[in-house]
Structure 1
Amino acid sequence: MTRSGAAHPLTHRTATLDDLPALHGLIDRAIATLQQGFLSPQQISASRHVMGLDTQLIRDGTYLVVEREGAIVGSGGWSYRATLYGGDQSVVAREVAELDPAQDAARIRAMYTDPACARQGIGRQVLTLCENAARARGFRRAEMMATLAGEPLYRACGYIPIEQVTAGPIDGVSVPLVRMGKAL
C-alpha cells in the first residue's frame, strides 16, 4: 500500500450500528498493539476498562469510519455531549448533557487505527474530519483524553496538553492519560 493511498484509496463515512463487530475487532487490535511501548501489559489490560467505543456517538451520527477496499482501517468521532472519554463497557461515567458551542469544547472521542495501517495518515484524516464537523456545528475548541500512544499525533496536529490524568486503579493498575485541547 502506498502512503498516499493512490493504489488503494481511502474512503470515509458515518458509522452505523451494523459496523459494531468490525469496530470492536479494530479497537481490540489497536489497544493490544499500538499501546505497546507506552504502557505495561498490565496497563494495556486495564486500559480496556477505560477506552473503547461509546455507541452514543454512532446514535448521534458523529462517529466515522475510514475504509480501504471495503475494510475499516480507522475510526473516530466527535461529540457535542459532555462525556470526554470512555466506551460502553467503561468504568468512566458518561454525561449525555449537550455542550454549548459558544462556551464548551467539542469532544474528540474513540480514535483508533488498525495496527497494520498505522502511520499512513488515517488518524490524521479522521481527526481532521471530526474537527471540521465540530467547527461546522459552531464549536471553536476541541478537547480529548489522549492515550500516551496517541499523544504524539495529537501534538503534531496542534493539540496541547491541559493536564495529566490517571484512570483507575483498575485491578490495582492505573492508566496514564493526557487531557489535550486545541482551538478550532
Structure 2
Amino acid sequence: MTVTWEESGWEQLAPGVGRRRLPGWDCTAGLVLGADGVLAVDAGSSLAEGARLRTEARELTGRRVTHLALTHPHFDHVLGAPAFADAEVYGAVGLDVALAGRGREELRADAVRWGLDPAAADEAVAALVPPRHAVSGEWTLDLGGGRRALLANVGPGHTAYDLAVLVPGDPDVVFCGDLVEES
C-alpha cells in the first residue's frame, strides 16, 4: 500500500478489507484486496465520486480495481460505476434491467430530487452500463492469495435486486448496501 487506510479516508475493518462512508447520502463503499484482484463494493453517486473512489483504491493498493459489486439499484450506489469501466461488474439477477430504460429515468430523477447536480446526474446516467455478471444464488470471487469474496443474491429486501458481499476472515466482513442502515 502506498498510503494507509486512514490517510486515504477509509476505515480498515480487517486485514485487506475497508470501508469508506461517502458524504451527502451517508452511503458506504467497500474495498477488498487480494493478491491478484481488487474488489470495490458500490461506486458512489456520480462519475466524480466514482473516480475519487477509483483513485483512492489505486493509492491504497498500487493496483486498479478489477471487480465491482453493486449492492442495489439506487443512485448513490450505482451512478459512479462508469468510473470503473475496465472492472468486471456484478449485480443481482435483474439489476441490468433495472438500470435500463425507465430505470435510468428513475435513477436520474431520484438523484436530482436528493440534491445531485442535474448535469452530474445526466452525465452519470448516460454513461451507465449494466453489470456484466448477473448473480443468482451465490458467486465466489477468487481475488488471489486465499482472499475470496462471496456475492449473494439475497432476493427482494431493500429493493427487488439486493446483493450482499461476505468476505471471510478474522473477522468476517459483510457489505449489504442499504439492507442495514445506521440511523
TM-score by length of 1: 0.35
TM-score by length of 2: 0.35
